[in-house]
Amino acid sequence: MQKNTLFIYYKLLPSLGSETRKSLTQLFDDVLKHHPGISLEVMKRPDLNSEGQETWMEIYRHKDGISEALIHEINTCAQKHGLPMPRKSEFFIPLD
């Protein structure tokens, strides 16, 4: 089973949205530099959680799959650029 779509999500206060977007741009620049062919997307839940936080999700897709080494690299870059922690990673696959 090829894992070609990775979802990484985390929570942040809305007041940190602008700063987080800048950090994401830096993260994506780093990832794209070393992994051509990867597609990147960011989404957020439409509503705040009970603690007043937004939930953001980064989506990474690559036709050749997402390796554990790439996940580690993404998470290392996320820490380097000060993205919110903790970050939870999950794979989803198409229904057969």
Give the domains, in start order, of the chain with CATH numbers.
5-91 (3.30.70.260)
What is the structure's pLDDT at 51? 97
What is the structure's pLDDT at 92? 84
Low-confidence ranges of the chain (pLDDT < 70): 1
What is the structure's pLDDT at 89? 94
Question: Do residues 84 and 64 touch, judged by C-beta distance below 8 A?
Answer: no
Q: Does the pTM of the predicted model rise above 0.85?
A: yes
46: left (phi over 0), alpha (psi -120 to 50) or beta: alpha
What is the structure's pLDDT at 1? 67
